Amino acid sequence: MSALAEVFARTRAEGRAALIGYLPAGYPSVEASIAALTAMVAAGVDVVEVGLPYSDPLLDGPTIQAAVDAALARGVTTTDVLRTVREVGATGAPTLVMSYWNPIARYGVERFATDLAAAGGAGTITADITPDEAGDWVRASDAHALDRVFLVAPSSTDARIAYTAQHSRGFVYAAAVMGVTGAREQVGAAAAGLVARVRAVTDLPVCVGLGVSTGPQAREVASFADGVIVGSAFVRCLLDAVDDAAGIAAVSSLARELAHGVRGGVVAR
């Protein structure tokens, strides 16, 4: 059983959804991002996404773009991302890399899989590549026992959802809304329906992202999904902070609020 599978088995036994938190590696610095991600785990995040900074993040909204641009300007590399995975993964929380495909292809698919496994990473979420275009990654992730998470959206056909779920491992990422990442006042109304459509074709956990930023929103999503994914709200904590210490404290506080929220929801299967 993979580390991700163990987390979802545990959270299901507890009658709740998992909390999945994202931050890009290297913002506001490599050390500070490691400290912030570690603080998130201590405050109740079950699974960590480490963002691999990329210069053309088409699916990311202005909040994540601002942090990623700053990280790249400071020279953050894939090696720094892998170091972040290693250090955050030492907490015991399964740690995934969230990446666009181009940085992985440039690094080398087999090399990336080898180095990610060596760093103790659980796998990847690939934001902009579909399973039918990811043959190299499917083979490499199989060879190194890495989970691979692909995305579905409200616009996905039933056939596309089934195909994506068939080639996913770990969980299926259900994008709650059409559009780029970013905190929203309301979670997309299509989210629950999308989760139901995914569950009709797979037993994999289904996790919802894009838009969650508060405890009540986390509780809402936790009532119908296996996992609640939060990214931009955590990044905003760091962007708005007067210094690293304040940012880490804000991230920790938000994680506690969200962890309380997911523990108030009952996963409907």
For residue range 101-115, list pLDDT tens digits in order. 999 999 999 999 999
% helix, strand, coil for the chain, step of 5: 50, 15, 35
Distance between CA atoms of residues 137 and 123, nearest Å? 11
Q: Catalytic residue at 60?
A: yes
Share of the chain above pLDDT 70, in %: 93
Backbone φ, ψ for residue 176 (5° rounding): -70, -25
- Catalytic residue from among 6, 31, 56, 60: 60
Which of helix, strand or coil describes residue 145? coil
Q: What is the Cα–Cα distance from 43 to 269, expressed in whole angstroms?
A: 27
Residues 6+ apart with CB under 8 A from 253: 43, 237
Looking at the domain covering 3-262, what would its CATH class be?
Answer: alpha beta
What digits encode the pLDDT tens for the residues 61-119?
A: 889 999 999 999 999 999 999 999 999 999 999 999 999 999 999 999 999 999 999 99
Tens of pLDDT along 164-209?
999 999 999 999 764 444 444 555 568 999 999 999 999 999 999 8
The answer to whether residue 31 is catalytic is no
Using alpha carbons, select from 215, 179, 174 the residue that is nearest to residue 195: 174
Q: What is the mean pLDDT of residues 227-234?
A: 96
* Span 223-248, average pLDDT: 97
Residue appearing with tokens 């495909």: 101
For residue range 4-20, what is the model confidence (pLDDT) as tens digits?
999 999 999 999 999 99
Site of tokens 């210069």: 55
Mean pLDDT (the chain) is: 92
Six token digits for residue 198: 């995914």
Summarize pLDDT for 39-61 with one digit per residue, the tens: 999 999 999 999 999 988 777 88
Which member of 46, 49, 115, 226 is catalytic?
A: 49
Q: Is the preceding peptide bond at 28 cis, omega within 30 degrees of 0?
A: yes
Which helix (DSSP H) or strand (DSSP E) does residue 112 occupy?
A: helix 109-118
